[in-house]
Structure 1
């Protein structure tokens, strides 16, 4: 079955995410956009994933719990998991390896925990934008310990991407999949060092108006998180 996806979305728990990116409003916007499969990937936390997944289910969407991990090298990685519990376990590991910095909401934005009905449950005080003490070469194995998949985010961007930091694609890191932005140029996709690398496109939406319309699809045998993760691992035809 052909399912339209966006696997890189932020909620109001990300300090750079708009305060109106509540789990409920984000899920509703994804449904209005015609998406089928979505993932919440806040910066260095899965704290709003449970609420988002419940709101997404209410809107008829298949939702994955995830995170946008910032590695030691300041490379952003998308990490997706089969269950909310697995994502939260991974999130606890990441929290232990974040520097002891406090968020400054007046500079970076608020970090709100919310339930699936838009009730504010609290505010995260730690700075979620900081780099975790987890190397890019470790991220994939750590996500796999929780049954998840990790791959480099928005590699076509000039900052916080694997290519902007390393200068070229490094096969020895073991990633066969990467994310590009919706406006990635055809020329970028044809880079010689990306030969054989599977590319998917997600929005990295930080506000409701940035949620991308249904354009990019995956062909799955069934609408389950297991099938999505198999597709991302390359166990299903791409």
Structure 2
């Protein structure tokens, strides 16, 4: 088994709240400088920047997981990860179907652009990406399952845009692969406060929107190799794979 340092919640220039400095090249360069082995791209309600970052990392030792931070109808932020671009694109089609057609105001919310590995703007998203999909958390979780993805409610201890913040509790019938907590609390304290976290893996990530925060929080994954399948096993403590830090 090997240990991999992983920051699995990173925004790019595509997220309206993401810095314009968060281009694929900058993200990859910064991640490598911070000693990360794995990153995941998780823009708000869009997967369209994953390709550019993957291409930017192609000639390095950095592994890029394909993800998204999707907002539910209840305004709960959830992380979803997919094994390949075919499945990722299927989830993007799902997002496009249920994302409300509210136009983005770049002066108010920020630009929403896709940048390729050579720093060229190739697409601008006109719909505001920080709104909730017209799908509740159970419907989104089910769709992620249909695509053999990984489903993780994000920063559940935050007062807003989180499972506990929006609902006031953790539903015991919600099928999750793990929970993410922000770096304002330790995993041990969070686990002690809620019995539903007792047997679940807990992640802490940077939720970086600017380069300086990439790798500020990270996970140590015990796996044979840095792949989606190994990550999924680590979340469920299968065959010696686990989250060890």
- TM score, norm. by length of structure 1: 0.94
CA contact (8 A) 2:205 2:217 kept: no
Query: CA contact under 8 A between 2:204 and 2:217: conserved in structure 1?
Result: no
Contact 1:82 1:229 in 2 (8 A): no
Alignment match, 1:198: 201
- What secondary structure does 1:3 align onto? strand
SS at match of 1:57: coil
Mean CA deviation greater in 78-87 or 214-223? 214-223
Tell me, in whole angstroms, the C-alpha distance in 2 between the residues paired with 1:112 and 1:215: 26
Q: Distance in 2 between matches of 1:200 and 1:30?
A: 18
Q: CA separation in 2, counterparts of 1:129 and 1:213? A: 23
Per mean C-alpha deviation after superposition, the further-off stretch among 175-184 and 69-78 is 175-184
Secondary structure of the structure 2 residue equivalent to 1:157: coil
Partners of 1:215 and 1:140 in 2: how far apart? 24
Instruction: Provide the aligned C-alpha RMSD in A.
Output: 1.6
Q: Give the SS at the match of 1:38.
A: strand
- Contact 1:81–1:148 under 8 Å retained in 2: yes
The CA distance in 2 between the partners of 1:77 and 1:207, in whole Å, is 20
Separation in structure 1 between the aligned mates of residue 218 and residue 13 of structure 2, nearest angstrom: 25
| Cα drift, residue 233 of structure 1 | 4.7
> How many residues matched?
238
Moved more, 186-195 or 172-181: 186-195
| 1:212 and 2:215 matched | yes
Matches within 5 A, 1:64-79: 64-79=65-80
Alpha-carbon displacement from aligned partner over 1:121-142 (angstroms, at most 9, x marks no partner):
1211111111001211122221
| Aligned counterparts, 1:11-160, within 5 A | 11-160=12-161
Q: Structure 1 residues 2 and 165 mapped into 2: Cα distance closer, same or farther (>3 Å)? A: same
Give me the whole-angstrom Cα distance separating, in 2, the residues matched to 1:182 and 1:57.
30
1:57 CA drift (Å) = 2.7
Distance 2:150 2:3 in 1: 21
Check conservation: 1:27, 1:56, Cα contact below 8 A. yes
Q: 1:192 to 1:126 in 2, by over 3 A?
A: closer
**CA deviation string 1:125-171 (max 9, x = no partner):** 11111100121112222112222111100011111000111112211
Return the TM-score normalized by structure 2.
0.92
**Please, which runs of 5 or more residues in structure 1 have no aligned partner?**
none
Of 226-235 and 125-134, deviating more is 226-235
Is 131-140 or 101-110 further displaced after alignment? 131-140
